[in-house]
Amino acid sequence: LAYLGARLRRTPPRFVVTCARGSSDHAAVYGKYLIETTLGRAVASLGPSVASVYNTRSLDLRDSLFIAISQSGQSPDLLRMTEAARAGGAVVLGFINDESSPLSALCDVRVPLSAGPEHSVAATKSYLLSGLAFLQLVAYWSDSAELHDAARRFPDALEAASKLDWWPALASLKDASSLYVVGRGSGLGAALEMALKLKETCRLHAEAFSSAEVLHGPLGLVRPGFPVLALGQEDNAAQGMRSVVQRMVELGANVHATLPVPGAQPLPTLPDLPSVLAPLCQVQSFYFAVHQLATARGLDPDAPAHLRKVTETV
């Protein structure tokens, strides 16, 4: 990462492209905001089907950085898209848990996630370590002392976050049929990740939205008692998030929020935490409670219905 950071400072890419699915793609959303707000480089997400289904082989990715994120590194569509990125002139960076995978062989630079075997279907360790990989990448690329310090604090912060009890909040979802998970900025990836885990482990229809996008239509579903998990971090997005949460509270929603808002029930968070770590730590606290919700709903969180550990899509 230090080598890559120095290389990117010498020859900055025109833009950055990410390619991933599921939890890995949610980590890429976190990374997108870090790169765009810290380095001023536009970040776009490419759908792997562009190469695997539509057979597009003429993407002009010259002078770009292409980041592939995967636990298994085996999905055929991701491999095809990475091959197309190399042919299009991109520098290919991989955040991959399985270092022996086919995807690893296609990368110019590989960053092993080192999560070890993940025995449950729902990816957890690899998601958090993908987020850390993005944080470290941006720290080395920008040479930011603040971000380097945040990365050093991450292990202790993650340990502390695992001891925060989100179960009382999630227990209220035992009989729920649907809910919103709302975030913004670097917290949007966390909202997407939580919504996915609620779907796959709890069979609960959870929709993730930006707190800005939820005002463009989805707010129409909010009614008295409607459950909402509202995520936020103390950065430039915090005030807007508080305003949206306040509006949902006024509509009678049952809101649990990480930011203090009158009428919303607080979700425990760590004090004095760098804002870039808050989304990852909130996901960690959530992980330690969501399995309890699955069990309370009569489900095995380690064996979600209709899913396999390695998802191979074309």
Sheet containing 254-257: order of strands? 205-210, 178-183, 227-230, 254-257, 265-266
Confidence of residue 281 (pLDDT cuts 50, 70, 90): very high
- Per DSSP bridges, beta strands 205-210 and 178-183 are parallel
Hey, CA dihedral for 153, 194, 78, 304, is it positive or negative? positive
What is the C-alpha to C-alpha distance for residues 66 and 83, in angstroms, rounded to an integer? 11
Structure tokens at 177: 């049929």
Say what the pTM is.
0.94
| Res 309 pLDDT > 70 | no
Task: Write out the H or E segment, with its range, that includes residue 173.
Answer: none
Give the per-residue pLDDT at 137.
98
Mean pLDDT computed over every residue of the chain: 93
DSSP readout, 51-112?
A: HHTT-------TTEEEEEEESSS--HHHHHHHHHHHHTT-EEEEEES-TTSHHHHT-SEEEE
Question: Alpha helix (H) ranges present in 165-267?
Answer: 167-171, 188-202, 238-250
Q: Taking a C-beta distance cutoff of 8 angstroms, is the pair 55, 71 a contact?
A: no
Residues 111-156 pLDDT 10s: 999 998 877 677 899 999 999 999 999 999 999 999 999 999 999 9
The pLDDT tens digits for 245-271 are 999 999 999 999 999 999 999 999 999
Given a cut of 80, whether residue 103 has pLDDT beyond it is yes
**CA separation for the pair 28, 21 (Å, rounded):** 9
Q: What is the CATH number of domain 1-143?
A: 3.40.50.10490
| Tokens standing for residue 296 | 């309370």
User: Is 70 exceeded by the pLDDT of residue 294?
Assistant: yes
Q: Work out whether the CA dihedral 81, 84, 89, 91 comes out positive or negative.
A: positive
Adjacency order of strands within the sheet including 91-96: 43-45, 15-19, 64-70, 91-96, 109-112
- Residue intervals of the chain classified under CATH 3.40.50.10490 are 1-143, 166-297
In sequence order, the β-bridge partners of residue 178 are: 205
Q: Which CATH class is domain 166-297?
A: alpha beta
Neighbours of 155 (CB within 10 A): 10
